[in-house]
Structure 1
Amino acid sequence: MQLTSTSTQRTYRYVRLGLVGAAVALGIAVVQVLVTVGPVPSISATFYTPARGIFVGVMFAITFALVALSGHSWEQVLLDLAALFAPVMAIVPTTVGAGEMPGVDPGCPGRCVPAAEVPAIAFGMTTLVIIAVLAIATAAVLAIVQHTISGVKALALAVAAVIVAGGEWWALADPAGFAQHAHLVAAVCFFTLLGLTAVVSAAAATRGWRVTYAIIAALIAIDLVWLAFVHAALWGETIALVLFLVFWLAQTIERWNEVDPGILPAR
């Protein structure tokens, strides 16, 4: 039997599956690093290995998918805001300690971002901020022209503008502090927003999916708390990545047959 579908539906499906593929690609890259390079302190530390291109590319692919596939009402707000933090994790590398990564000398006592990476952070953040401002302005214009503006949409745009402005101010006012802490802040915000998205999805889903999303949201919260106190970054980030993948797969299956995914709340 031949199944019919619209081009909008197929695009929606393929981009969702593409995000799954991006997450799987990152997992494959991490395994290769563990086999060829040796133990790394975290997934983010693959930035300092031959897997750097994969790590950075996956973060930007996730950014695109989250913006393209943002859902309804509060879910849209949370996914769009999460998309602001994913590229920061790619642009600002995680800190590294002396002798922690083969061939990487941070050049400081304790942990820090190597000085050689600082110019790239400034360059990347300037580009990111300009793109973010253009994206927020474009989203506002489109929402007004298409008559899809709402209180929730206006709030999302305002919060996004504050995050972008605050991030740029931090990067300019305290570049050393930004380089030291921005990656961790972005990662915590990213996974927190995904956890909140799972909560919102649970509230709107049918009973079976509601339980699935609620469990995922609870596990993400537990994982973030565990990371804060145990500092087992590799395992914590791996668990977070798996939970993100499970959530995205579950949501993809649930919404597979949406004929025309819209930008207005479902009625």
Structure 2
Amino acid sequence: MRIRTTSTQRTYRYVRLSIVAATLVLAVSVGLEVARAGVLPSISAAFYTPAGDLFVGSLCAIALALLVLSGRSIEQGLLDVAAVFALVVALVPTPISDASCEVGAVCVPPAAVPGVINNGVSVASLSVVVLISAAVLARTQGSAGWGTVVTLLGIALIVAGFVTWALSDFPTFLRGAHNVAAIGFFSVIGVVAAVSAWRPQRSLRRFRVLYAVVAAGILGVLLALVAVLVVGAATATVGGVPVIFLGESVVVVLFAVFWLVQTVELWDAPDPALRA
């Protein structure tokens, strides 16, 4: 029996599945590098390895997918914000200990800095065009509302914040932007999962339970990782595995679980535009 669907419905299915696929590609690529050279200090450190191209590519693909998931709910506004954080995570590498840095220092190797500048200027410039285009489209399509205004304003402030940080103190931007964006990205995803868990009028109980587990897991692990960074124990290990790598692995798995659940829950949704 052939199942009747609309083009829009199929598109939304494939976009959600593409997020899962991009996450899987990232996991496989990092896994192969771990098998080849040993456990990395963090998943983000894959940027400097043969897995670097797929690390950047998968995050950019996820950012694009999050942006094109159109809707009219608080979740959608948050996912748009998460897309901005994902781009920063992809394009500003994590600082590492490297022979090209000062003795005992942790930095972004000088060879990677020109790429950060090129990519940063390109994405910041594009962000202006995207924000203006999004505002015009929302107005012409009749979809503009307070949610749209707040989302666009929030994204503009985030982009302006990162740009101002880079222009005013580039060395500290290189040392901190990646971690700030990564924490911001997964925090937003955790909040989206929590919002999804708290909506009895829209989701069956079994889905809400899964969303609650994902939200608690992501936010709990993030708090633990932030505490590790604050106390200066970033090099600590658990059973020989760096605690940062372990924590990041958990939140990446939970991120994939969230999108698998979303895909299953909304598979037959006739209208992907969820309203708050």
TM over 0.5: yes
Name structure 2 gaps, 5 residues minimum. 229-233, 235-242
How far apart are 1:70 and its partner, in Å?
4.4
User: What is the total number of aligned residue pairs between the two structures?
Assistant: 260
Residues in 2 aligned to 1:43 and 1:71: alpha-carbon distance in whole angstroms: 31
From 135, 151, 155, the counterpart of 1:156: 151
| Amino acid in the other structure paired with 1:183 | H
Counterpart in 2 of 1:101? none
Answer yes or no: is the 8 Å Cα contact 1:107–1:115 preserved in 2: no
Residues in 1 aligned to 2:125 and 2:153: alpha-carbon distance in whole angstroms: 16
| Amino acid in the other structure paired with 1:135 | V
CA shift digits 1:24-50 (9 cap, x unpaired): 000000111011122210110000101
Return the TM-score normalized by structure 1: 0.93
Counterpart in 2 of 1:138? 133
Is the counterpart of residue 227 in structure 1 residue 198 in structure 2?
no
Counterpart in 1 of 2:214? 216
Q: Comparing 249-258 with 29-38, which one deviates more in the overlay?
A: 29-38
CA shift digits 1:111-130 (9 cap, x unpaired): 11112211211111101111
CA shift digits 1:36-80 (9 cap, x unpaired): 122210110000101110000001000011011144321111000
Q: Quote the sequence identity (%).
A: 45
Is the counterpart of residue 112 in structure 1 residue 74 in structure 2?
no
Residues in 2 aligned to 1:138 and 1:201: alpha-carbon distance in whole angstroms: 28
Counterpart in 1 of 2:50? 50
Counterpart in 1 of 2:253? 242
Is the counterpart of residue 171 in structure 1 residue 155 in structure 2?
no
How far apart are 1:3 and its partner, in Å?
0.7
Residues in 2 aligned to 1:12 and 1:73: alpha-carbon distance in whole angstroms: 15
Residues in 1 aligned to 2:226 and 2:159: alpha-carbon distance in whole angstroms: 25
**1:40 aligns to what SS in structure 2?**
coil
Counterpart in 1 of 2:9? 9
Answer yes or no: is the 8 Å Cα contact 2:63–2:87 preserved in 1: yes
How far apart are 1:226 and its partner, in Å?
1.6
**1:192 aligns to what SS in structure 2?**
helix
**2:158 aligns to what SS in structure 1?**
helix
Residues in 1 aligned to 2:195 and 2:251: alpha-carbon distance in whole angstroms: 18
Answer yes or no: is the 8 Å Cα contact 2:101–2:109 preserved in 1: yes
Return the TM-score normalized by structure 2: 0.90
Residues in 1 aligned to 2:39 and 2:190: alpha-carbon distance in whole angstroms: 28
How far apart are 1:81 and its partner, in Å?
0.3
Distance 1:70 1:145, change over 3 A: closer
CA shift digits 1:231-250 (9 cap, x unpaired): 41110110010000001100
How far apart are 1:156 and its partner, in Å?
0.7
Name structure 1 gaps, 5 residues minimum. 99-103
Residues in 1 aligned to 2:53 and 2:223: alpha-carbon distance in whole angstroms: 29
RMSD of aligned alpha carbons = 1.4
How far apart are 1:229 and its partner, in Å?
2.7
How far apart are 1:105 and its partner, in Å?
3.9
